[in-house]
């Protein structure tokens, strides 16, 4: 049985990916700063007959990630999903905010890949999937720090794929547009009245030419394919899953 490590799998996209990879027969290791959220996902997996463990991990900390990976007997699949958002252009982005986004979205991806690759090499290879974004390909208004981090995720995907293409390790990334996650629902609830929310949700949906936001399950299906042996000829690719956003930009 393969072991699939997913960071930030307590809700939303990470949760959907973990559930799908478990359904495909992988043992799941959830690395999450919020272990209560991680356990919620674990209970869903266990209730469907899957095997799963939850390990506390702060992806921004070298020591925390090293400790988490030391607890894993093997790593066959790594999904670098953990990430945080930021709104604002370069004028309003403070040094602290830039560091906060970098530490989680960029350094966190580095940390997990750094400690996963040796374990993959021990077992003859593996698959790495990074969560990038359409922000790594097109300009999005008021997303300076976030776009910086997702551009880095895309570039690190290409570099890792190139360095390990002859060593049995594949590395790809996916580039979603807006996905209807609990984060988006919370954003609407926090910033808009009950009367305003339907109109704003419609606006967010129509940003995608296809006319709606994506679902975590759709991201999970693509992620599971790219991590599976069915995608054994795919590496160094960035897959758009964006309802036509980049097509029409």
**Containing structural domain, residue 72:** 3-178+215-241
Domain count, the chain: 1
The residue count of the chain comes to 249
Is 80 exceeded by the pLDDT of residue 53? yes
Asked if residue 62 is part of any domain, the answer here is yes
Pick from 134, 170, 132: nearest CA to 152: 132
Asked if residue 229 is part of any domain, the answer here is yes
Asked if residue 51 is part of any domain, the answer here is yes
SS3 content of the chain, % helix, strand, coil (to 5): 50, 15, 35
Amino acid 39: pLDDT: 98
Asked if residue 183 is part of any domain, the answer here is no
- CATH number of the CATH domain containing 56: 3.40.50.720
Asked if residue 32 is part of any domain, the answer here is yes
Asked if residue 202 is part of any domain, the answer here is no
Mean pLDDT score, 72-80: 98
Least confident of 46-60, 159-173, 184-198: 184-198
Amino acid 248: pLDDT: 83
Amino acid 170: pLDDT: 98
The residues carrying an active-site annotation are 146
Mean pLDDT score, 144-163: 98
Across 65-183, the runs of DSSP E, i.e. the strands, are 77-80, 126-131, 169-176
CB 131 within 8 A of CB 75: no
Mean pLDDT score, 9-30: 97
pLDDT-above-90 percentage for the chain: 92
Asked if residue 165 is part of any domain, the answer here is yes
Mean pLDDT score, 45-63: 98
CB 82 within 8 A of CB 130: no
Tens digits of per-residue pLDDT, 176-219? 999 999 888 887 888 888 888 999 999 999 999 999 999 999 99
Asked if residue 192 is part of any domain, the answer here is no
């Amino acid at each position: 049985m393969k072991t699939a490590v997913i960071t930030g799998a307590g809700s939303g996209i990470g949760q959907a990916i973990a559930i799908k990879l478990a359904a495909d027969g992988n043992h799941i290791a959830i690395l999450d700063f919020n272990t209560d959220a991680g356990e919620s996902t674990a209970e869903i997996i266990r209730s469907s007959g899957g095997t799963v463990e939850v390990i506390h991990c702060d992806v921004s900390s070298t020591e925390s990630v090293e400790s988490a990976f030391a607890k894993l007997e093997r790593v066959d699949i790594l999904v670098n999903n953990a990430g945080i958002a930021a709104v604002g252009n370069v004028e309003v982005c403070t040094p602290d905010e830039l560091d906060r986004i970098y530490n989680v979205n960029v350094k966190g991806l580095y940390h997990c890949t750094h400690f996963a690759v040796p374990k993959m090499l021990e077992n003859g290879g593996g698959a790495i999937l990074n969560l990038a974004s359409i922000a790594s390909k097109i300009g999005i208004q008021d997303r300076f720090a976030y776009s910086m981090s997702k551009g880095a995720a895309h570039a690190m995907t290409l570099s890792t794929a190139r360095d390990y293409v002859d060593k049995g390790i594949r590395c790809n990334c996916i580039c979603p547009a807006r996905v209807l996650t609990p984060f988006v629902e919370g954003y609407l609830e926090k910033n808009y009245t009950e009367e305003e929310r339907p109109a704003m949700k419609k606006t967010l949906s129509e940003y995608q030419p296809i006319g709606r936001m994506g679902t975590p399950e759709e991201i999970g299906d693509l992620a599971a394919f790219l991590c599976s042996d069915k995608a054994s000829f795919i590496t160094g690719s960035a897959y758009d899953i964006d309802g036509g956003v980049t097509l029409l930009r």
